[in-house]
Structure 1
Amino acid sequence: MIVVGVQTGPAAARPDDSARTAAAAGTVSGRPDPGALPAKLSPATRAELIREADAAQGATARTLGLGAKEKLVVKDVIKDVDGTTHTRYERTYAGLPVLGGDVVIDRAGSGAVKTVAKSTKARMKVATTTAAVAPATAEKAAVKAANAQGSRKTAADRAPRKVIWAAKGTPTLAYETVVGGLQEDGTPNELHVITDATTGTKLFEFQGVKTGTGNSQYSGQVTLGTSGSSGSYNLTDAGRGGHKTYNLNRGTSGTGTLFTDADDVWGNGTTSDAATAGVDAHYGAAETWDYYKNVQGRTGIRGDGVGAYSRVHYSSGYVNAFWQDACFCMTYGDGSGNAKPLTSLDVAAHEMTHGVTAATANLSYSGESGGLNEGTSDIFAAAVEFYAGNASDPGDYLVGEKIDINGNGTPLRYMDKPSKDGASKDSWYSGVGNVDVHYSSGIANHFFYLLSEGSGAKVINGVSYNSPTSDSLPVTGIGRDNAEKIWFKALTQRMTSNTNYAGARDATLWAAGQLFGQGSAQYNAVANAWAGVNVGARITDGVTVTPPGDQTSIVGQATSLQITATSSNAGALGYAATGLPAGLAINSSTGLISGTPTTTGAGAVTVTVTDSADKTGTASFTWTVNTTGGNVFENTTDVAIPDAGAAVTSPITVSRPGNAPSNLQVGVDIVHSYRGDLVIDLIAPDGTAYRLKGSSLFDSADDVKTTYTVSASSETAAGTWKLKVQDMYSQDSGYLNGWKLTF
């Protein structure tokens, strides 16, 4: 018997198991910065933050430089322990919803904007909001697209609505049509089809019903939250947002019948009692609620304290489970032959996590973002399974290992090596966005396993794993607890609706930097785990010294050079140098080289940086000391940089014979509030442009104060050289403080 007791309040918070996990797995130790973790907000506090953000949306829109026709709609607010808020907005243009226009703004406790993450940086401007094709044309195209997928439907479920489609390039006036009915396997259909309102051409499509399969292992004797009194109990968990579990009794529509019982003892552990599936679904929902609340500080799927609901016994012989935003509910089939309901713990966590994703990043359920959506649900399904600590269903990195969907006892999916299922992808490649989202999700799953546990062979809770990497280099894990916090922060505070795998790398690196610091072991492990699935480059564990480029000085003239280095190990760095020109020395604590050269000549300089773990990094360059004059040319005149305006230039006239060197030094000093929006070019006298810096969404620091090295030996030195600077996007300001050329 599965004995279920009454629980009138939420389960008590349990301590997270990061220390135990790290010790067991032999991973790198490290705890998140408490200030960067989400505060545990009550629903009332969250609602007040949303009201405040909504009241200020007009001022925020102006801060972002949005046009007069654009408005922001607050979707969610997360507040960190240190007071930083992360506000997620959707956008409208001329009153029309902008699909793919979502924005996340981070503000310090003082209210100052820290960073902005945008799903698109394209300007919201369309020639007209009057459609050239009729809604009926859009509906016809949508139904045709649904039929091509095998859907059983002949008309739109929701009439076409005009929108601005901004998720893929230039904003376009479009129709969004939702086709309902059933998919080929009996799953409800909510296919969103986007068609161009000018030409009628289909632009995009994505599925609104998020499906998944998982572990069908029953969880033994469990305690559930129920309501009522002796003689009349029901599966309503008042302590977890009023979550209810219903019996569809093989139906496919409606809510079904709320499970009731006279003695509060539910199910018998087999399919002979319909309540058994209800027990597993109800228990899975409770554990998932507790995980998000106690570990991630989120009360309820939307963070508003409201529970979703569950429906079991969907259809007959239905081998799947799914989440629907429209009903805010999870639905479970009974499996092949109605013998194994898909109501296990990890299935519940998987489906509820689709709801969390919809309430936050809202990753489009198509292409690479769809793979990330599915991968996110698998990631937190594993997290909840480990969190629950249920002896009947111990945590693992397998999906569907108990249900035997394949008929041969093998799991449905593997996180350590996804390709073991015969279809999922271990690593990224250029066409992976065309793969079914349940298989392209393997890249996210593999990354998460590598980040948590590392590469190679190991045994966890009795299960053997052996995870490879795409570059055949090892990855050191940082522990599942840390990996979960990084992914959750990236999902809820950085990812947007059209984030792809490259964007997910950026988002998780940002999250790791916030939690542990840039250059930390955890930060480097994120980069290396992504490199292990062929997304981006590795970061060397230990000391990294930024090459300063070859240097030129004038004898008798004071000079200085700051050496920049980072380490994955905490503690102070020590600096040393060999080959410095006479008169120069390096500060062993700060890395500043300074002094006055006393003799001319050129020589090789090597800087060595040592960290607290006695790991070293080096950088070598040439330092030339010339006679007085003729080597440095400078323009110190301030030049304003228009916000999202035309490019500006600053000239320097050079008078020296011969060609420019292969290591021409371009010193740039720009004061700016968001350097990521800047594009900087050096223009040679003959008009040739050398790109020094491009724009980057996640390059959110202030100012540009650095020296670039340009191979300009093909250019004549004499003539007018120009520095060209353009601010590509709105909401910031700055000026060119000066620049110089060193020959």
Structure 2
Amino acid sequence: MKRIHRAGLAATAIAGLAVVTITVNVQAAQPGGSAVSPVAAARANAAQLGIGDGSDLVVRDVIVDSDGSSHVRFDRTYQGLPVVGGDVVVHQDKAGKSRSATGGVGKLALSVKPAVSAASAAAATKQKSAKQQLVVFVTNTGQSKLAYKVVSEGRKANGEPTGTETYVDAQNGKVLDSWTTVNDDLGSGTGLYVGTVGLDTTKSGTSWTMVDPVRGGNATYNAGTLFSDADNVWGTGSNSNAQTAGVDAHYGIAKTWDYYKNVHGRNGIANDGKGAKSYVHDGAYVNASWSDSCFCMKYGDGDPSQGIGPLVELDIAGHEMSHGVTSRTAGLRYSGESGGLNESTSDIFGTAVEWYAANSQDTPDYVLGEEIFTDYNPATNYIRRLDKPSLDGASADSWSKSVGRLNVHYSSGVGNHFFYLLSEGSGAKTINGIAYNSPAANGVTVTGIGLSKAEKIWYRALTTYMTSRTDYHGARTATLNAATDLYGASSAERAAVAKAWAGVNVLP
């Protein structure tokens, strides 16, 4: 959650388908009694569409709809090498007949013998302690090149975690692309922001630990040490008690888990029933992050001199964990417009988690991170806001050809603004005590369909139609397809999706 906005301060860095069944266990993906295997049909359809032979495709995820239609997400390989950006979703009816495909790359014909050594590739990235892997890299313009994937992880001087993923052309040693791998943005217990809440913990001998036995073993740590307590009553509401921030984090991961399960039918971040780890008091920095490598969140303690407390607010927790959901579904590349969509997805679902939790101490809104400021004022102090993203001084309200060149925390404004317009509509209104006045481009007036419908459309678009290189125009197509699936091709919901995209200048 990188960008912090504070007034007076410089900015720092269902008429259609009623039920969707999501399955990541490929063995169990085939509906009972069906003579058509979705995976086998998808492999055959992919070959016919020219986006991979059966041996080139590795199943990542399978979605089977209530009407028997299926959507199989594949990762692509080439002569045994991963094809980064070659992921594809094949869509087919219940009989296995191909309907369409999203993403993918056509026939590949390139040498897999590098002219540059792995050590030279690592040196080109100027990263220390880097790991290299030979891959086929698909650029944002669709070119396929033999490349080294160079990954490095470390810490900044202030202790904040960092990570970089860089792709170096294996034939000439030039850097093709690079992005961060740390998606940053910044019993009972009494937290800093959530008040006194119930917590699911685990009895261990004569004490309790912050391990959630109900939600896959989600665990919360004080820096590197698992929180434990003698009486299962955690925190005091004061930051002077180390457990207090832990209460917010443990509550946040529980509410995010419940949101995805109860609203979208998703069983944990990776949809495998396994919990994640949260590390509070990770360092004296103003940020929070998700890392795939540790399957964990890390929360900085903020900066009292700026009037900013620990970044364990509920919508921040939902934001960070949603990066994990994205990585295990669409895998949106963290650069260009796809990177903006990645950040926007986390802002959208972080907001949705807050509305789902309906915590009286953290009133639901369309503003992110306002609780971390000691001089709480959501009109002026926040990390980002969805109704008019440009109020932070840098984010984009609408799409333009230059959006993809912005930092992903700023290009996310296009998706955030779309989601607000779809949920609440354009114009001035007050919601839960906060005044909003959301503009719309191209002279359109948007009537919202409500957050409940909008979040379902975005989730289906993310998990069913988006792929790693989806841009904003691709997101428009994905959400229109999702709205058609959920509410019908002639529905008011689908029409609202089209109008909301027009309101942020994403046009056909």
So what's the TM-score if we normalise by structure 2? Answer: 0.89
How far 1:171 sits from its partner (Å)?
1.2
- The one-character-per-residue Cα deviations of 1:188-242 (angstroms, maximum 9, x if unpaired) are 22211111111111111111110023xx961111111111168311111111011
The change in CA–CA distance for 1:375 and 1:115 in structure 2 (over 3 A counts) is: same
- The one-character-per-residue Cα deviations of 1:277-302 (angstroms, maximum 9, x if unpaired) are 11100100011101100001111111
Q: Is the contact made by 2:43 and 2:53 (CA closer than 8 Å) also made in structure 1?
A: no
The residue type paired with residue 346 of structure 1 is: D
Whole-angstrom distance in 2 between the partners of 1:324 and 1:388:
24
SS of the equivalent of 1:533 reads: coil
Query: Which residue of structure 2 aligns with residue 39 of structure 1?
Result: 21
1:132-143 to 2 correspondences below 5 Å: 132-143=115-126
How far 1:112 sits from its partner (Å)?
3.0
Query: Which residue of structure 1 aligns with residue 229 of structure 2?
Result: 261
Picking from 385, 391, 413, the partner of 1:442 is 413
Do structure 1's residue 363 and structure 2's residue 320 form an aligned pair?
Answer: no
Q: Is the contact made by 1:217 and 1:393 (CA closer than 8 Å) also made in structure 2?
A: no
- The one-character-per-residue Cα deviations of 1:335-364 (angstroms, maximum 9, x if unpaired) are 003962111111110000000000000001
Compare the two structures and name the one with the higher helix fraction: 2
Query: Which residue of structure 2 aligns with residue 378 of structure 1?
Result: 347
Query: Which residue of structure 2 aligns with residue 344 of structure 1?
Result: 313
SS of the equivalent of 1:384 reads: helix
How far 1:464 sits from its partner (Å)?
1.0
The residue type paired with residue 384 of structure 1 is: V
1:404-483 to 2 correspondences below 5 Å: 404=373, 410-483=381-454
* Aligned alpha-carbon RMSD (Å): 2.4
Identity over aligned pairs, percent: 51
Q: Which has the larger radius of gyration?
A: 1
Picking from 281, 294, 301, the partner of 2:249 is 281
Picking from 432, 438, 463, the partner of 1:492 is 463
Whole-angstrom distance in 2 between the partners of 1:113 and 1:352:
33
Do structure 1's residue 115 and structure 2's residue 100 form an aligned pair?
Answer: yes
Picking from 321, 336, 341, the partner of 2:288 is 321
Picking from 355, 358, 362, the partner of 1:393 is 362
Q: Is the contact made by 1:50 and 1:74 (CA closer than 8 Å) also made in structure 2?
A: no
Do structure 1's residue 293 and structure 2's residue 293 form an aligned pair?
Answer: no
SS of the equivalent of 2:149 reads: strand
Q: Is the contact made by 1:471 and 1:532 (CA closer than 8 Å) also made in structure 2?
A: yes
Q: Which residues of structure 1 form unaligned runs of 5+?
A: 1-30, 144-153, 249-255, 538-743
Query: Which residue of structure 1 aligns with residue 8 of structure 2?
Result: none
Q: Is the contact made by 2:45 and 2:98 (CA closer than 8 Å) also made in structure 1?
A: no
Whole-angstrom distance in 1 between the partners of 2:269 and 2:336:
24
Whole-angstrom distance in 1 between the partners of 2:176 and 2:320:
28
The change in CA–CA distance for 1:321 and 1:476 in structure 2 (over 3 A counts) is: same
Whole-angstrom distance in 2 between the partners of 1:436 and 1:48:
40
Query: Which residue of structure 2 aligns with residue 613 of structure 1?
Result: none
Query: Which residue of structure 2 aligns with residue 26 of structure 1?
Result: none
How far 1:174 sits from its partner (Å)?
1.1
Q: Is the contact made by 1:70 and 1:94 (CA closer than 8 Å) also made in structure 2?
A: no
Whole-angstrom distance in 1 between the partners of 2:40 and 2:303:
52
Do structure 1's residue 194 and structure 2's residue 167 form an aligned pair?
Answer: yes
The change in CA–CA distance for 1:483 and 1:341 in structure 2 (over 3 A counts) is: same
The change in CA–CA distance for 1:432 and 1:62 in structure 2 (over 3 A counts) is: closer
Whole-angstrom distance in 1 between the partners of 2:286 and 2:30:
40
How far 1:140 sits from its partner (Å)?
1.1
Picking from 219, 222, 228, the partner of 2:194 is 219
Question: How many residues align structurally?
Answer: 481
Query: Which residue of structure 2 aligns with residue 49 of structure 1?
Result: 29
SS of the equivalent of 2:238 reads: coil
Do structure 1's residue 162 and structure 2's residue 162 form an aligned pair?
Answer: no
Q: Which residues of structure 2 form unaligned runs of 5+?
A: 1-13, 32-36
Whole-angstrom distance in 1 between the partners of 2:237 and 2:163:
34
Whole-angstrom distance in 2 between the partners of 1:447 and 1:352:
21
Q: Is the contact made by 1:230 and 1:262 (CA closer than 8 Å) also made in structure 2?
A: no
The change in CA–CA distance for 1:55 and 1:184 in structure 2 (over 3 A counts) is: farther
How far 1:330 sits from its partner (Å)?
0.7
Q: Is the contact made by 1:245 and 1:310 (CA closer than 8 Å) also made in structure 2?
A: yes
Whole-angstrom distance in 2 between the partners of 1:177 and 1:303:
28
The change in CA–CA distance for 1:514 and 1:61 in structure 2 (over 3 A counts) is: closer
SS of the equivalent of 2:155 reads: coil
1:626-641 to 2 correspondences below 5 Å: none
Whole-angstrom distance in 1 between the partners of 2:229 and 2:26:
36
The change in CA–CA distance for 1:47 and 1:211 in structure 2 (over 3 A counts) is: farther
Query: Which residue of structure 2 aligns with residue 125 of structure 1?
Result: 109
SS of the equivalent of 2:214 reads: helix
- The one-character-per-residue Cα deviations of 1:121-172 (angstroms, maximum 9, x if unpaired) are x43221x1111111122111112xxxxxxxxxx52421x2111112332211
The change in CA–CA distance for 1:536 and 1:56 in structure 2 (over 3 A counts) is: closer
Whole-angstrom distance in 1 between the partners of 2:272 and 2:471:
28
Whole-angstrom distance in 1 between the partners of 2:426 and 2:40:
49
Q: Is the contact made by 1:46 and 1:304 (CA closer than 8 Å) also made in structure 2?
A: no
